[in-house]
């Protein structure tokens, strides 16, 4: 996990560092005695922030509000020797409240009961990159598509996030210059068939779902950065840099939606 600890007492910071190294040896941990320096260093989403409440220049409550404004899914855990701040912590939806002196067990319990958790979807067989240009990987290897339009069809279905798309929708977005007649419908079926065969050869079945003449992508087997972003995954949020499926015009609506969220998030920081 990416965790920060902020306490104006150096001894507390040292103790917290030792405890977190034991609990989360593979994580990234940063520690501060200056809350303003901690705020200055917030260069990517933080999963957990351990904060002292009473500190000079900026108290822990104020620091927590600034962190949450930037990263709403950060788990705030207060470390304090005073119980009277519990109501305020509850009001800002803190994840935990640990009274000093604390032990490794108390810190571990607070982490185990944190409010927000990154969903573990790393075991899903198909990884999809939507941020930047659209790419698809199976077991880490890029998928080679027989037809360019087959890849575009998959991108459109992924953009629709599992919603069923009828033939008119597919034609309007994949073959917008062609008439909505039987020959064009046959082309779309060829693209869908390409996808089924391509992924079957790679050991992936059930990627395309068909229901009463409509089609959808099976999101349950996808590890997709766009889906992670919408679920609040801190890493996916940090990876979005303003680009989404850059090669496809049908993605314009989603690009606008993401740009608005990106703008709103960064406006809240000031």
Q: What does the pLDDT look like over 199-245, one tens digit per residue?
A: 999 999 989 998 888 999 998 889 999 999 988 888 888 888 889 99
List the beta bridge partners of residue 214: 211
Same domain, 260 and 139: yes
Considering the domain architecture, whether residues 98 and 20 belong to the same structural domain is answered as yes
Same domain, 251 and 137: yes
Task: Average the pLDDT over 181-203 and give the result.
Answer: 96
Co-location of 95 and 8 in the same domain: yes
- Give yes or no for residue 127 having a pLDDT over 90: yes
Same domain (yes/no): 133, 238: yes
Domain assignment present for 119: no
Kindly state whether residue 117 falls inside one of the protein's structural domains.
no
Q: Is the per-residue pLDDT at 165 higher than 60? A: yes
Same domain (yes/no): 26, 147: no
Same domain for 257 and 132, yes or no, is: yes
> Minimum mean pLDDT among 71-85, 158-172, 181-195: which range?
71-85
Instruction: Please indicate, yes or no, if residue 118 is contained in any of the structural domains.
Output: no
CA-based nearest residue to 19, from 103, 113, 129: 103
79 assigned to some structural domain? yes
- Asked if the structure places residue 9 within a domain, the reply is yes
81 and 210 in a single domain? The answer is no
Out of 84, 112, 140, a domain closes at: 112
The candidate with the shortest Cα–Cα distance to 6, out of 91, 87, 63, 44, is 63
* pLDDT the model gives residue 269: 47
Which of these, 195, 188, 259, lies nearest to 229 by C-alpha position?
Answer: 259
Range of the domain at 142: 126-265
Same domain, 93 and 25: yes
Confirm if 5 and 11 have CB atoms less than 8 A apart: no
Q: Is the pLDDT of residue 79 over 80?
A: yes
Residues 103 and 161 in one domain: no
Give the pLDDT mean for 82-97: 81
Strand partners for 29:
3
Residues 53 and 146 in one domain: no
> Is 270 inside a domain boundary?
no
Q: Which pLDDT does position 44 carry in this prediction? A: 73
Contact (CB, 8 A) for 51 and 210? no
Give CA–CA dist 171/157, Å, rounded.
12
End-of-domain residue from the set 88, 112, 136: 112
- Rounded distance, CA 270 to CA 260, Å? 16
Rounded CA separation 239/248 (Å): 20
Q: What count of other Cβ atoms lies within 10 Å of the Cβ of residue 24? A: 18
Domain final position from 55, 81, 112: 112
> In this structure, is residue 120 part of a structural domain?
no
Look at residue 50 and tell me if it is in a domain: yes
pLDDT at 118: 60
Q: Which residues lie closer than 8 Å to 88 by C-beta, 6 or more apart?
A: 61
Average predicted confidence (pLDDT) for the chain: 89
The domain total for the chain is 2
CATH of the domain at 69: 3.40.50.2300
Q: What is the CATH number of the domain that holds 204?
A: 1.10.10.10
Query: What's the pTM?
Result: 0.57
Q: Are residues 142 and 212 in the same domain?
A: yes
Task: Inform me whether the pLDDT recorded for 26 exceeds 50.
Answer: yes
């Amino acid at each position: 996990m990416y965790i920060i600890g902020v306490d104006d007492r150096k001894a507390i910071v040292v103790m917290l560092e030792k405890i977190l190294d034991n609990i989360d040896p593979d994580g990234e941990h940063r520690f501060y005695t200056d809350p303003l320096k901690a705020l200055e260093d917030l260069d990517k989403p933080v999963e957990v922030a351990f904060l002292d409440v009473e500190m000079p220049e900026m108290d822990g409550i104020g620091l927590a509000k600034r962190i949450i404004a930037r990263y709403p899914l950060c788990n705030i855990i207060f470390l304090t020797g005073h119980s009277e701040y519990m109501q305020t912590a509850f009001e800002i939806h803190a994840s935990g409240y640990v009274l000093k002196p604390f032990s490794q067990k108390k810190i571990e319990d607070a982490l185990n009961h944190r409010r927000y958790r990154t969903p573990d979807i790393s075991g899903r067989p198909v990884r999809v990159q939507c941020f930047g240009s659209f790419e698809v990987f199976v077991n880490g290897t890029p998928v080679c598509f027989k037809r360019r339009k087959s890849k575009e069809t998959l991108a459109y279905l992924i953009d629709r996030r599992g919603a069923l798309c009828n033939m008119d929708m597919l034609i309007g977005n994949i073959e917008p210059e062609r008439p909505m007649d039987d020959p064009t419908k046959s082309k779309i079926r060829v693209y869908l068939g390409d996808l089924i065969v391509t992924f079957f050869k790679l050991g992936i079945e059930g990627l395309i779902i068909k229901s009463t003449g409509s089609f959808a992508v099976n999101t349950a087997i996808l590890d997709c950065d766009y889906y992670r972003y919408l679920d609040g995954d801190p890493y996916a949020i940090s990876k979005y840099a303003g680009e989404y499926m850059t090669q496809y015009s049908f993605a314009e609506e989603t690009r606008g939606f993401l740009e608005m969220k990106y703008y709103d998030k960064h406006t809240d920081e000031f």
